[in-house]
Copies of this chain bind each other. A is one copy, B any other.
């Protein structure tokens, strides 16, 4: 366990990745209340909404107002999702979004076509335009998100060599266009990953690009998310997306049984108990999970919110 990081950074994605699939529309003021509860608990990066087609994702139709309404806390980045140029424009125009220069790719040809109506090659071909758009807004492009990096419900297991090839292509395109990949987010979008696979892929990426910050986005569809995160931490990975209460699923994967991201407070619990700082107060995080449960109106899968933290035993 010698490679366990001293600090783990968690990006909370519940208010976006989680709420977007809830049948109940959560009121703007309630979203803001949840986002601020998360920030108050010590979360320093929160995906607070998305600038996508409001007809396709009505749950996010109020993102403009959510961002404008957040009582901003210093040191907290309020992130958004966008899928096209118009979305990025809206995010930039909003003024309250902490816009990051990120490119997005999917390791599965079938899934990227279903999801974006583009092939993998098309997506690479559009990267220079994306980089130019960000540049015009004064935002350096440093990030790549790779969806379905472990497996895909349409294509099966994703080979490591294929993932490395895709990252290499992205690194090359970024270099040709005057920017440099610094953060790679490997997303287990459909919950295929197992701990051994996580260690292998992280190890292979690290060996080839030692300077890269590896981030993981792990869905708990098959109950492996915490185990996968711990496996990654044992490889030194210190950046995770996570979802309060385990909110979420994957609306585009054609999969009713899909689960949300690794539950934030369950992951914070792992870290806290293993002596890894997250900057997040586990008890305040559990309160935020209870609030999320109230807002969506049904039980969330998080465990620590039911089993309880161990904080009171630490004081004694």
Chain A to chain B: the 5 pairs with minimum beta-carbon distance, closest first: A223-B303, A223-B266, A221-B307, A194-B273, A156-B313
Q: Which residues of B contact A47 (CB under 8 A)?
A: none
- Residue A316 interfacial (CB < 8 Å): yes
CA–CA, A223 and B304, complex, Å: 7
The reply to whether B224 and A269 form a contact with Cβ atoms under 8 Å apart is: yes
The reply to whether A157 and B313 form a contact with Cβ atoms under 8 Å apart is: yes
Q: Which residues of B contact A258 (CB under 8 A)?
A: 307
The reply to whether B310 and A274 form a contact with Cβ atoms under 8 Å apart is: no
17 contacts between A and B (CB under 8 A): A151-B313, A156-B310, A157-B310, A157-B313, A194-B273, A195-B270, A196-B273, A196-B274, A196-B275, A221-B303, A223-B302, A223-B303, A223-B307, A227-B270, A257-B307, A258-B307, A259-B306
- How does the 8 Å CB contact mask read for A238-282 relative to B, with 1 for contact and 0 for none? 000000000000000001011100010010011001110000000
The reply to whether B269 and A222 form a contact with Cβ atoms under 8 Å apart is: yes
A302, chain B: closest CB distance, angstroms: 7
Interchain CB contact (< 8 A) of A274 among B194, B222, B223, B304? B194
Q: Which residues of B contact A220 (CB under 8 A)?
A: 303
The reply to whether B257 and A224 form a contact with Cβ atoms under 8 Å apart is: no
Q: Which residues of B contact A308 (CB under 8 A)?
A: 222, 255, 257
- Closest residue of B by beta carbon distance from A192: B310
- How does the 8 Å CB contact mask read for A141-159 relative to B, with 1 for contact and 0 for none? 0000000000100001100
